[in-house]
Amino acid sequence: MGMLSLGALHYWLVACLLLIGLHSMLAQRNLLKKLMAMNIMQVAVIVFFIALAAKTGGTVPIDTPSIKQVDAYINPLPHALMLTAIVVGVSTTGVALALLIRLYRRYGTLEEPEVLAQLMESA
Amino acid sequence: MTAHVPALLVVLPLLAAVLVPLLALRSVPLAQLIAMLSVGGVILGAGLALRRVLIHGTWHYALGGWAPPWGIEYVIDPLAAGMALLISSMALPALLYAGPVVAAWSAGQVGAFYSLFLLLVTGLLGMVVTGDVFNLYVFLEISSLAAYALLATGGIRAVVATFRYLLIGTIAATFYLLGVGYLYAITGTLNMADLTAQLATLHTSSAFVVAVAFLAIGLAIKAALFPLHAWLPDVYTYAPAPVSGFIAAVMAKVSVYALLRLLVFVLRAEGAAGQALLLLHWAAVVAVLAGALLALAQQDLRRMLAYSSVGQMATIVLGITLGTPAALLGALLHMLNHAVMKGCLFLALGGVQWRTGQVQLADFVGMGQRMPLTMAAFGVAAASMIGLPPTAGFFSKWYLLTGALEAQDWLAVLVLVGSSVLSLIYFFRVLEVAYFRQPGVQALQRELPWRMLTPMVVLATLVVLLGVWNQVIVTQVLQYALPHGVAWPRT
C-alpha cells in the first residue's frame, strides 16, 4: 500500500480530476461542456501546485521578527504562480465563450455534430 | 538605454499593443504606423542584441533588478537573439500586408486587430528571451490567446477551427505547466540555468521522467508534430492571410525552439530527456513523410501549404534529434529559411484569394498572367521549398542530409530525400497549372496594391539572398548558437 498511502491521497485525487477533464473534453458532444471540462483540467493543475506548497505547522509567509528559521514559513511561490495560472484560465475561458457566442448566433446550437453538419451543408 | 534592450524587446510591442487601439479611434493610418514602428524598433533591438552576444557572449538580464534564481532572468544567447530577429522581421511584412485587408473594417476593429497582432509578437518574443520556465508558460499563453482571437477573424469556419485549437492548445499548455510543476517539485527552482545545475544529480528520479513526458508532449502539440498536428490544417486554412502568413512562418517554430531549449540546453539530453529526443526522432521520421503525402492529396492550396508545414516542422525536429553538428546547423538554418519561404507562400496565396477568391488548384489556370508578380513570388518560394539551388531551401536540406549521413541514419536520409521528391511534385503541380495551362478566355491582368505586393516581393528576394549568404549565416551566426557538451543518445 506504499504507493496508495494517505499522505499521497490528494495527488491521486488531482490525477482523477485531470483525467475527468481530459476525458470529458474528448467525449462530450456539446462545445460548452467541452469548455467546462477544460476548466476542470486546469483546476486539477492548480490544486496540484497548491498541494505541493502545503506544510503542516507552517505559518503565513510574512516576515515576522520573532520567527527566524525559514522552515517555519509556508512557501508562497506556488500560490503566486497559480494566481497567474488562474488569470490565464479566466482569459482562455473568456476568449472561448466569445467564440461560442459567435457560433451559437450563427447555428442556433452548440452540439458539435449539428454544427459540423451545418458547416458541411454550406460547403 | 542599450543596457535594457532585453526587456525592451518585450516591453516595446506590449506598450504599442496598449496604445494602438486608442490611436486607431483618432487615426487608423497613425495606429498602423506606430504598430510597424514598434516592430521596427524590436528588429533593431534584436539586431543589436545579436551583434553584442556574438562578440561578448551570453547576455544575462535580471528583470526588475531581482537577482536570479529568485527573480526572473532574461537570457539572450545567439540562438535566442536570432529567433527574436526572425520573429520581428517576419512580423513587419505581415503588418504592412494587413493594411488593405483591414481597409473595410471599422476603426475599433482595426485597432483591436493590430493590438492583438502586437500581443502575439510580444508573447513569441518573450518565449525566446526568457530564462525562466514559468515565465515561458505565461508568454506561451499570451501568444496563444492573441493567436486564438486573431485566427477567429477569418469567418465562421475559422471560428470552429479556432475553438478546437483553443481546446487542444490549452491541453498542451496545461501539460507544459504540469511538467514545470514536477521540475519545481524536484528542484525548487524555475530558473533554467539553476535547473541545469540542480538536475545534474537528480535526473534519475522518477518524477523527472513524468516532468519530461508532460513538457515534451505539451510542446510537441504546440509545434504540430505529427500525430499531434490535427489542429493545424483547419486553423491555417481559414485564418486571414496576414495572420496565417505570420503564424505559419514563426509560431510553431517558437515551440520547437522551446523543445530544443528545454530538452537539450536545460535538461542536457540526460536520462528521460534523451529518451524523449529519441521518441521525437521516430515521430519526426514518420511525420516528414506523412506531412508531404497529405500535402500531395490536397486540392485546396491553403490546406496543401498547411500540411506541407506539418512535414517541414518535422524536418526541423528531425535535424535537432539527429544531433550531429551538420544536422543541428541544418535544423536552425531550416527554421530561418522555412519561415521566410512559407511566410511568402501564404502571403502570395492570400493575395490571390483576396483579389480573385480562388484557392483551389483547378482555378489557378492562367494565374501567372493574371497576377504575374504575386505568382513570381510564389514561384521563387516554391522553388526554395522544393530545394532548387541557389534558393535558401537547397542549403538547409543539404546540411540536414549531410547531418543524417554523418549520423549514418539511412532511414532519415531516405525520408529527407523522399519528402523533397514529394514537395517537388505538389509544388510543381501548382506552377504547371498557373503558368503552362492556357485559360479558355484571356483573363485581365490585375495585380495587388503595393502594400500587399511589397512584403511578398521582399520575402521572395530574401529567399534567394539567404541562399547566396548561407555560408556567412552558418559560419558567422548559427555555429555559435549550437549547444555544447551535450551527448545525444543513439539507441
**B248 grid coordinates:** 505559419
For residue B148, give the nearest of A42, A95, A102 by CB distance.
A95
Sequence-distant (6+) residues with CB within 8 A of B9 are: B42, B45, B46, B49, B84, B125, B129
Q: Cell 525552439: give the residue.
A: B257
Sequence-distant (6+) residues with CB within 8 A of B457 are: B373, B377
Question: What's the rounded Cα separation, in Å, for the pair B87 and B65?
Answer: 27
pLDDT at res. A5: 55
Residue A113: its chain B contacts at CB < 8 A? none
Instruction: Say if residues B134 and B181 touch (Cβ distance below 8 Å).
Output: no
| Residue among B53, B55, B117 at smallest CA distance from B88 | B117
pLDDT tens digits, one per residue of B231-259: 999 999 999 999 999 999 999 999 999 99
Instruction: Say if residues A112 and A30 touch (Cβ distance below 8 Å).
Output: yes
pLDDT at res. B77: 94
Torsion of CA B456, B459, B465, B471, to 10 degrees: -160
pLDDT at res. A54: 83
Question: What's the rounded Cα separation, in Å, for the pair B281 and B322?
Answer: 7
CB contact under 8 A, B178 and A102: no
Reduced 3-state DSSP string for B272-329: HHHHHHHHHHHHHHHHHHHHHHHHHCCCEHHHHHHHHHHHHHHHHHHHHHHCCHHHHH
Whether A1 shows a pLDDT value over 60: the answer reads: no
Question: What's the rounded Cα separation, in Å, for the pair B20 and A22?
Answer: 38
For residue A45, give the nearest of B145, B148, B181 by CB distance.
B181
CB contact under 8 A, B184 and A52: yes
Mean pLDDT by 10 residues, chain B (491 residues): 90 97 95 97 97 95 89 95 97 96 93 97 97 97 97 92 96 97 94 93 90 96 91 92 94 96 93 94 95 94 95 96 94 96 96 91 89 94 92 95 94 95 94 86 81 95 95 92 84 59
Burial of B42 (0-12, 13-18, 19+ CB in 10 A): buried
**Which value does ipTM take for this structure?**
0.94
**B415 grid coordinates:** 525520408
Question: What's the rounded Cα separation, in Å, for the pair B404 and B417?
Answer: 11
B74 has which bridge partners? B61, B130
Instruction: Say if residues A40 and A20 touch (Cβ distance below 8 Å).
Output: yes
Q: Is the peptide bond before B240 cis (omega within 30 degrees of 0)?
A: no
For residue B163, give the nearest of A42, A85, A96 by CB distance.
A96
Cβ-based neighbour number of residue B384 at 10 Å: 31
Reduced 3-state DSSP string for B78-145: HHHHHHHHHHHHHHHHHHHHHHHHCCCCCHHHHHHHHHHHHHHHHHHHHHHHECEHHHHHHHHHHHHH
Whether A6 shows a pLDDT value over 70: the answer reads: no
pLDDT at res. A30: 96
Instruction: Say if residues A54 and A40 touch (Cβ distance below 8 Å).
Output: no
Enumerate domains of chain A plus CATH numbers: 10-59+67-122 (1.10.287.3510)
Instruction: Say if residues A10 and A51 touch (Cβ distance below 8 Å).
Output: yes
Residue A45: its chain B contacts at CB < 8 A? 174, 177-178, 181
Tell me, what amino acid is at B331?
A
Residue A18: its chain B contacts at CB < 8 A? 178
pLDDT tens digits, one per residue of A48-102: 999 988 888 888 888 888 888 888 888 899 999 999 999 999 999 999 999 999 9
Mean pLDDT of A6-35: 92
CB contact under 8 A, A91 and B141: yes
HSE-up of residue A45 (Cα within 13 Å, Cβ side) = 28
pLDDT at res. A3: 47
| Residue among B460, B425, B396 at smallest CA distance from B295 | B425
Question: What's the rounded Cα separation, in Å, for the pair B192 and B165?
Answer: 29
- What are residue B76's phi and psi, to 5 degrees? -110, 110
CB contact under 8 A, B177 and A34: no
CB contact under 8 A, A41 and B174: yes
pLDDT at res. B439: 76
Instruction: Say if residues B301 and B430 touch (Cβ distance below 8 Å).
Output: yes
Tell me, what amino acid is at B470?
N
Q: Is A59 helix (H, G, I), strand (E, B) or coil?
A: strand
pLDDT tens digits, one per residue of B279-328: 999 999 999 999 999 999 999 999 999 999 999 999 999 999 999 999 99
Residue B152: its chain A contacts at CB < 8 A? 99, 102
Domain ranges of chain B: 1-131, 132-480
| Residue among B281, B343, B344 at smallest CA distance from B315 | B281
* Residue of B138, B174, B206, B359 to mutate, testing the A interface (most A Cβ within 10 Å of its Cβ): B174
Question: What's the rounded Cα separation, in Å, for the pair B2 and B9?
Answer: 11
For residue B159, give the nearest of A85, A88, A102 by CB distance.
A102
pLDDT at res. A70: 82
C-alpha pair distances (Å), B136 with each of B69, B143, B192, B375:
15, 11, 10, 39
